[in-house]
Amino acid sequence: MGRKNQRFLLLVLLCSATGVIVGGTASWAESNQCMQANVVTDQCLKQSPIARTIEGMATGLVAGAGAAISVDWQHKREG
């Protein structure tokens, strides 16, 4: 495996991991904020905080990987 492929895989891995952390944290915080509101909506009660956090983590994973691929593609177009 070439050096460029290793860099690309490392970029995708790091961006995906960052996306998982940010997405999970944001979803968990939103869940807690929703439950602590003065008026708890039906939307808050339909989905568990853990399921919402996992959904946020999955979204972050896809967003991070997409960002890494886009950055790599843009870098290849410019150079």
Closest CA to 71 of 6, 5, 12: 12
Q: What global pTM score does this model have?
A: 0.84
What pLDDT, in 10s, does the model give residues 14-38?
999 999 999 999 999 998 888 888 8
| Nearest in space to 45 (alpha carbons), one of 54, 35, 36, 55 | 35
Q: Is the pLDDT of residue 1 over 70?
A: no
List of long-range contacts for 47-52, beta carbons under 8 Å, 24+ apart: 52/27, 52/28
Q: Which residue has the higher pLDDT, 43 or 16?
A: 16
Check pLDDT > 80 for residue 65: yes
